[in-house]
Structure 1
Amino acid sequence: MTTSKKDVIYDVHDKPPIGMWIGLSFQHLFAMFGATVLVPILVGIDPSIALFSSGLGTLAHLSVTKYKIPAYMGSSFAYILAMQSLMKSDGIAAVAQGAVVGGLVYLLVALIVKFVGKAWIDKVLPPIVVAPIVMVIGLSLAGTAVNDAMNKNGDYNLTFLLIALVTLFAVLAFNMFGKGLTSLIPILLGIIVGYSFTLIVQQITGTPIITFDEISASHWFSVPSFDIMFVDYSFKLYPSAILTMAPIAFVTMTEHFGHVMVLNSLTGNDYFKDPGLERTLTGDGVAQMIAGVFGAPPVTSYGENIGVMAITKIHSVYVIAGAAVFAVVLSFIGKITAVIHSIPTPVIGGVSIALFGVIASSGLKILVENKVDFDDKRNLLIASVILVSGIGGLTLNIAGISISGVAFSTILGIAMHLILPKTTD
């Protein structure tokens, strides 16, 4: 599952020049911002807390994994329904406790992996299982990207589509034809072009798309509304939070495996072996516990940022760390946070079409590099079931626990690989 590094511009431990470093880090910040702040908005939590915890959680993950894995941690969508329910019944204290317990589940599994070993990974996750899962990770997000690109409040909007396409083609143009710095930050430049074009369209049509009310009302310095465990509220055990959120950790864990697989393919490294799956799981667990302590939604590794790395061929952990530091700092700067928050959804949608598509294409790359034979009906069936169940959102509901999409398709793929008999030529 290795890949050539000849086209890589900045490898995992390469440090870009300071000016370029800042631009590249902001690019990652913008890529994850929309999704990271959307989760707390849907749940009823201050988005600034989520921004803060995503940065701090990323730095913790980098530290635990010995700065070997360029992974950014952002708010997890898997917990939204559980958090919404808990916020209505018990409040933020229950959500925080559930997030911390979910992190502890990661640490427990990491401990088991440490003592049992990791030889089983290659046996249960061969290329024929890994590649379709990687494709599902990208393609299952396609609906979100397209919806952002062409719908306004659920209704088709031609203006939104035009803005999204201008943003998308700006990203493509900067990536393909840009020279020097412009070729390294196509996502950031694409967002700037899309934002500027939206302002022009808004001026011509008179239709409000970007509003500056939030920016005007924001203060330059603003402390996020933290709900710090053991400080802002007294401890109380919430069994419902534990029973509701802890099992979801196993769902996000399968997504974690998929993201590590994509990073393995992109960087040409095997992170399951070095720094080891036990460290990647521990990093995710610690980051999730940090989020819970500060009253933020649980975090997970982000496909958006993996997509940025795939497009730019820049895998530097310094760039990821820079984005994390900026996220922490910006969570205290109300004006800048409001500006980023004002990026219109069609701009995010246009960028996301490219990002999520590149992730899916990485799965195809794994199949090609490993010369997977699709004349072998066993391979054909495994890939087919993973793709349709994952992209279609096949869901298993048991006792209030929901397993769907990437998680369920991963389980099915592993089961099929272990159960279906090997075929011969």
Structure 2
Amino acid sequence: MSEKEVFRNKDALLDINDKPNFPHWLVLSIQHLFTMFGATVLVPLLIGLNPSIALFCSGVGTIVYLLCTKAKIPAYLGSSFAFIMTMQVLMKNYGYPAVGQGAIAAGLVYVIVSLIVGKFGSSWVDKLLPPVVVGPIIIVIGLSLATTAANDAMLNNSNYDLKFFSVAIFTLLLTIGFNIFLRGFPSMIPVLLGIIGGYIFAVMMGIVDFTAVAKAKWFTLPAFDVMFINYDFKWYPAAILGMAPIAFVTMTEHMGHIMVLNKLTKRNFFKDPGLNKTLLGDGFSSIIAGFAGGPPTTSYGENIGVLAMSKVHSVWVIGGAAFFAIVFSFCGKISALIQSIPSPVIGGISFLLFGMIASNGLQILVDNKVNYALKRNLVITSVILVVGVGGTYLQLGNFQLTSIALATIFGIGLNLILPKYAFSER
């Protein structure tokens, strides 16, 4: 038997290769689609692109990622936030052709690094990322999103809104109830049920705007801006030099998400299918997005949170979400309806999803019995948590090293530099 056939994660309701029946597959996939939709369409809105193309690129990119990783990793790819500042500048000064070239350049960096890893291996990952580093980084990935969840739950156009907060708390409590008390198939879709329940309550509270839904057409082509077809080709060195280095930053987040998935699925994706395959899939996804007219892509923590809560890790479900993302990118009505989900509903769900990610980091520390009587462990964890959760970043011109990337670098560096025991412990 192959390793895939021998090993099955008993904690998962549906493991990686388990195929749900059609009705279950449909509902579980829609749950993932709803979860990633807001963030994926927000990126193009912030930089001046049509959301439909980002949705299309998200679906295609995820399918490409699944193919590159031999359908072994249940990861969903959506629009990357790391490039927003640079893309805004490029859109203002040059238009989309520059952004597209930057996305392709970033994707090529991933591909080049994947080839290097494929040549020399990834055994160094275990040395650079022991549990004392991995656990806090995963905690940071979850908690660094806490402010986003809180703002979604409370703020209406930057002003505190009690209605918004009420909807968020109602959605949160409803989702917790579904997660704890439901059995059978409904226990697999607490996020979707929470979103639906929260949405209905939001309608009752009068904070849902159906104007865009009424105006939207049933069928519309995504706003493709295909390189070599929609515009005359011209080199944009500023775009390439501005976006390519940021790929090294998103790689650290990429590896952080792989760590979380390793923990959830009880596998080691750095070894099988290999870090080179995961980087290759992420890189090809961004390259395709650049050619088609969308922003670069990356794996989504929101969807990892759904995996943690639902215990459904099936790649069939992830692939289904990608399929529906492509379909919905052509359907204006459905796309507009999903976009009409108000931020407090997403905020209420996010309280639980992001916390689930952070809790998995804590569990890594517990499972590996990390000894905090040792000063080195205490120092490494303390620095990672405060730098990452505090939102510390390094800004050099248009280049920004995000808090997660900076916390990862500090953690890796301290782990390599600090002795096993402090002088007072010897």
TM-score range, shorter chain: over 0.9
Q: Work out which of the residue numbers 386, 406, 409 in structure 1 matches 2:407.
A: 409
Residue of structure 2 in register with 1:165 after alignment: 169
**Who is 2:393 aligned against?**
395
Q: Where do 1:317-356 residues align within 5 Å?
A: 317-356=315-354
Say which of 78, 82, 99 aligns to 2:82. Answer: 78
Q: How far apart are 1:29 and its partner, in Å? A: 0.2
SS at 1:300's partner residue? strand
Deviations 1:259-293 (A, max 9, x none): 00000000001000000000000000001111111
Deviant stretches of 4+, over 3 Å = none
Q: Residues of 2 paired with 1:135 and 1:50: CA distance? A: 28
- Other-structure match for 1:284: 282
- Please name the residue that 1:92 is paired with: 96
The 3-state SS of whatever aligns with 1:22 is: helix
**Alignment partner, residue 206 of structure 1:** none
| CA offset digits 1:355-377 (Å, max 9, x no partner) | 10000001001101111011111
Q: What is the TM-score when the length of structure 1 is the normalising length?
A: 0.97
Q: Which runs of 5+ in 1 are unaligned?
A: 203-208
Moved more, 225-234 or 134-143: 225-234
User: How far apart are the structure 2 equivalents of 1:117 and 1:5?
Assistant: 26
Residues 301-324 of structure 1, C-alpha deviations (whole Å, 9 max, x = no match): 000000000001110000000000
CA distance in 1, matches of 2:333, 2:77: 23
Q: Does 1:130 align with 2:134?
A: yes
Report the TM-score, using the length of structure 2 for normalisation. 0.96
Cα distance in 2, alignment partners of residues 308 and 331 from structure 1: 22
Q: CA deviation at 1:422?
A: 1.1
Kept after mapping to 1: 8 A contact 2:82/2:402: no
- The structure 2 residue matched to 1:216, chosen from 179, 194, 214, is 214
Match in the other structure for 2:71: 67
Q: State which drifts further: 222-231 or 58-67.
A: 222-231
5+ long unaligned stretches in structure 2 = 1-6
Mapped to 1, the partners of 2:114 and 2:144 lie a distance apart of 27
2:260 aligned counterpart, secondary structure: helix
Which residue matches 1:107? Answer: 111
Counterpart of 1:141 in structure 2 is: 145
- Tell me how far 1:210 sits from its aligned partner: 1.0
Q: Matched residues, percent identical?
A: 58
Amino acid at match of 1:236: K
Distance in 1 (CA, whole Å) between partners of 2:404 and 2:417 is: 20
- 1:205 match: none
Q: How does 1:220-299 map onto structure 2 within 5 Å?
A: 220-299=218-297
Q: Is the 8 Å Cα contact of residues 85 and 398 (structure 2) preserved in structure 1?
A: no
1:26 to 30, 42, 64: 30
Measure, in 1, the Cα distance between the counterparts of 2:402 and 2:183.
Answer: 42
Aligned length: 417
Supply the distance in 1 between the matched residues of 2:33 and 2:187 (Cα, whole angstroms): 18
CA contact (8 A) 2:77 2:298 kept: yes
**Are 2:124 and 1:120 equivalent residues in the alignment?**
yes
Q: Which amino acid aligns with 1:157?
A: D
The residue type paired with residue 190 of structure 1 is: G
The 1-side partners of 2:148 and 2:302 are apart by 12
- The 1-side partners of 2:118 and 2:380 are apart by 29
